[in-house]
C-alpha cells in the first residue's frame, strides 16, 4: 500500500509540471497548485483535523515546542536563542499542520509562483525562499515548505535548504520527499495550554470538547479593576503543574499557580510561603493590604490562608476539616483550598462539600479551587470573578464547581 502511495505521490508531482508547461494562464496555475497541494498533503497522511488554512498568527502567540506523549519523540526544534518577537508582528501561512490551531506547527506551507531560474539561484535570489527559513524558525516548526508548480523548497532545523524540481524529479527524489514530509505519529504540543483544553489526567468531568475551542487564541492577558494577569505566563505555570510527576513537584507547581493568581491582585500580596506553625504547615499566607476600592475581601479578615492539594483523587472530608481547624486557630475567616481534582462530594458522597460550606455562626468560610476553575482563568475568566461566585454562593453545598 505504501509503495502505491509513493508511486501516486511521484505521478502527482510530475503531472503538475507537465500540466503547467502546457498552460500560460496564471489563474489556472494557481488553481492547479491549490488542488494538487490538497492531494499532496493527503498522500503524506495529513487529515482535515490537523490542517488549518489561511492562518494568521501574531509572533508572540507562537510557542516553543514540547512533546508530552512520547519519550522517543522525533527531533523537536526549539525557537532560536535570540527568539524575541515584537508584539503585533503577524505571520501569515497558507496552511499549517498542527495538533490544533493553537499548537506549534509541525509543518508550515506557503504557495508561490516560481520559475525554474528561482531554483537555480536558490535562497539568495528570491525573497519568498530566503524568508522561508526565518518564518520556520520563528514558528518553531519542524518543516516549512514553499510549494509551486515548478517544484518544492524544504527547510528544516540545522539543515541546508533543499529544492526538489519537478522538471527533473526522479523516483528516488520523490521517495525522499515523501519520507521527509510525511505526517508524524504525534504532533507537538505547546508549553502553554490552548484555549478550552482540559487535561485528560483530571478525574473531573471535562467541560469542553475539541471544536470551537480550537479556533480562538488565548487572550494575552486579563485586565480588570481587580486584577491584571499575563495569561501566557500563567499558562506556562499551569502547564508545569500538569506535567509534574513527583509529589513534591506537584505540590510546588500548584503553589506556584496559586502564587501567580494572588499576585495578580494589586491589593493582595503573598506574605508567607510554607509557614510552619504550632497548628501545622500553611502553604501560603495572603495579606490584604487594603485599597480604596470596594472588594469582596473587605468582608473578611486581613489574612487568608491557602492550601494546595495536587492529588490524584479528590480531597476527602477529613482534610477539609483539618483546614477549617487551621483557619479557626489562626483567627482567619476565609480559607482557599486549591484541590486539583476537587473534593469528595461531586459524586453521591457529599460530606466534604458540606464541610467546605462555612461562613455561618463565625465559622471560617472555605472555598475550593479545582483544575477546572484554573482553566476558566486560562480562557479569560477573572480569578476575582471565580472567588466572588463561590463566596456569594454560600447557601449551596456546591463550592468547587
Cell readout for 149 is 508548480
- For domain 212-392, give the CATH number: 3.40.91
How far, in Å, CA of 177 to CA of 180, rounded? 5
pLDDT score, position 397: 36
Q: Is the dihedral of CA 83, 84, 86, 88 positive or negative?
A: positive
pLDDT over threshold 60, residue 121: no
Q: Which residues contact 233 (CB under 8 A, 6 or more apart)?
A: 260
Output the CA angle 67-84-225, nearest 5 degrees: 90
How confident is the model over 346-393, as pLDDT tens digits? 444 444 444 555 555 567 899 999 988 998 888 788 999 999 998 877
How confident is the model over 282-328, as pLDDT tens digits? 999 999 998 888 899 988 999 999 999 999 888 988 899 899 999 99
pLDDT over threshold 70, residue 190: no
How confident is the model over 21-79, as pLDDT tens digits? 665 555 667 788 888 899 999 999 999 888 888 877 665 444 443 333 333 333 333 44
Helices (H), 22-115: 26-43
How far, in Å, CA of 104 to CA of 138, rounded? 10
The more confidently predicted of residues 236 and 215 is 236
The more confidently predicted of residues 295 and 200 is 295
Q: Where do the CATH 3.40.91 domains begin and end in the chain?
A: 212-392
Lowest mean pLDDT segment, chosen from 165-169, 191-195, 331-335 = 191-195
Q: Which helix (H) or strand (E) holds 238?
A: helix 231-243
pLDDT score, position 369: 94
Q: Which helix (H) or strand (E) holds 39?
A: helix 26-43
How far, in Å, CA of 149 to CA of 347, rounded? 60
How far, in Å, CA of 262 to CA of 264, rounded? 5
3-state SS, residue 106: coil
pLDDT over threshold 60, residue 398: no
How confident is the model over 126-185, as pLDDT tens digits? 566 667 777 777 677 889 999 988 889 898 876 677 888 888 889 999 999 999 999 998
pLDDT score, position 28: 66
Kindly indicate the confidence band of residue 395, based on its pLDDT and cuts at 50, 70 and 90.
Answer: very low
How far, in Å, CA of 57 to CA of 60, rounded? 8
Q: Are strands 90-97 and 65-66 parallel, antiparallel or unpaired?
A: unpaired
Average pLDDT on 213-220 reads 44
Q: Which residue has the cell 468582608?
A: 299
How confident is the model over 231-242, as pLDDT tens digits? 878 888 888 888
Amino acid at each position: 500500500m505504501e509503495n502505491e502511495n509513493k508511486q501516486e505521490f511521484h505521478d502527482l508531482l510530475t503531472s503538475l509540471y507537465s500540466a503547467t508547461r502546457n498552460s500560460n494562464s496564471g489563474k489556472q496555475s494557481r488553481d492547479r497548485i491549490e488542488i494538487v497541494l490538497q492531494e499532496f498533503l493527503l498522500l503524506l497522511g495529513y487529515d482535515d483535523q490537523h490542517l488549518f488554512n489561511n492562518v494568521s498568527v501574531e509572533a508572540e502567540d507562537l510557542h516553543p515546542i514540547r512533546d508530552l506523549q512520547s519519550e522517543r519523540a522525533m527531533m523537536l526544534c526549539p525557537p532560536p536563542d535570540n527568539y524575541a518577537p515584537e508584539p503585533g508582528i503577524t505571520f501569515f501561512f497558507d496552511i499549517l499542520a498542527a495538533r490544533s490551531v493553537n499548537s506549534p506547527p509541525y509543518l508550515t506551507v506557503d504557495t508561490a509562483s516560481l520559475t525554474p531560474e528561482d531554483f537555480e539561484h536558490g535562497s539568495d535570489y528570491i525573497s519568498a525562499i530566503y524568508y522561508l527559513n526565518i518564518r520556520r524558525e520563528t514558528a518553531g516548526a519542524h518543516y516549512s515548505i514553499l510549494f509551486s508548480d515548478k517544484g518544492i523548497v524544504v527547510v528544516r532545523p540545522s539543515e541546508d535548504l533543499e529544492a526538489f524540481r519537478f522538471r527533473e524529479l526522479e523516483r528516488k527524489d520523490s521517495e525522499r520527499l515523501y519520507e521527509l514530509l510525511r505526517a508524524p505519529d504525534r504532533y507537538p504540543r505547546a508549553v502553554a495550554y490552548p484555549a478550552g483544553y482540559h487535561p485528560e489526567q483530571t478525574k473531573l468531568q471535562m467541560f469542553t470538547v475539541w471544536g470551537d475551542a480550537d479556533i480562538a487564541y488565548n487572550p494575552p492577558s486579563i485586565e480588570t479593576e481587580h486584577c491584571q494577569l499575563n495569561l501566557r505566563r500563567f499558562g506556562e505555570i499551569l502547564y508545569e503543574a500538569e506535567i509534574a510527576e513527583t509529589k513534591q513537584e506537584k505540590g510546588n507547581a500548584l503553589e506556584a499557580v496559586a502564587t501567580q493568581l494572588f499576585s495578580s491582585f494589586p491589593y493582595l500580596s503573598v506574605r508567607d510561603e510554607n509557614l510552619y506553625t504550632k497548628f501545622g504547615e500553611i502553604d501560603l499566607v495572603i495579606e490584604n493590604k487594603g485599597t480604596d476600592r470596594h472588594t469582596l475581601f473587605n468582608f473578611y479578615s486581613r489574612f487568608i490562608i491557602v492550601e494546595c492539594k495536587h492529588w490524584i483523587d479528590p480531597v476527602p472530608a477529613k482534610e477539609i476539616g483539618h483546614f477549617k481547624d487551621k483557619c479557626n486557630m489562626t483567627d482567619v475567616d476565609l480559607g482557599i483550598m486549591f484541590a486539583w481534582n476537587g473534593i469528595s462530594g461531586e459524586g453521591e458522597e457529599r460530606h466534604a462539600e458540606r464541610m467546605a460550606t462555612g461562613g455561618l455562626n463565625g465559622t471560617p468560610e472555605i472555598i475550593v479551587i479545582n483544575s477546572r476553575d484554573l482553566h476558566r482563568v486560562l480562557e479569560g475568566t477573572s480569578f476575582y470573578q471565580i472567588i466572588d461566585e463561590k463566596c456569594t454562593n454560600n447557601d449551596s453545598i456546591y463550592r468547587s464547581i
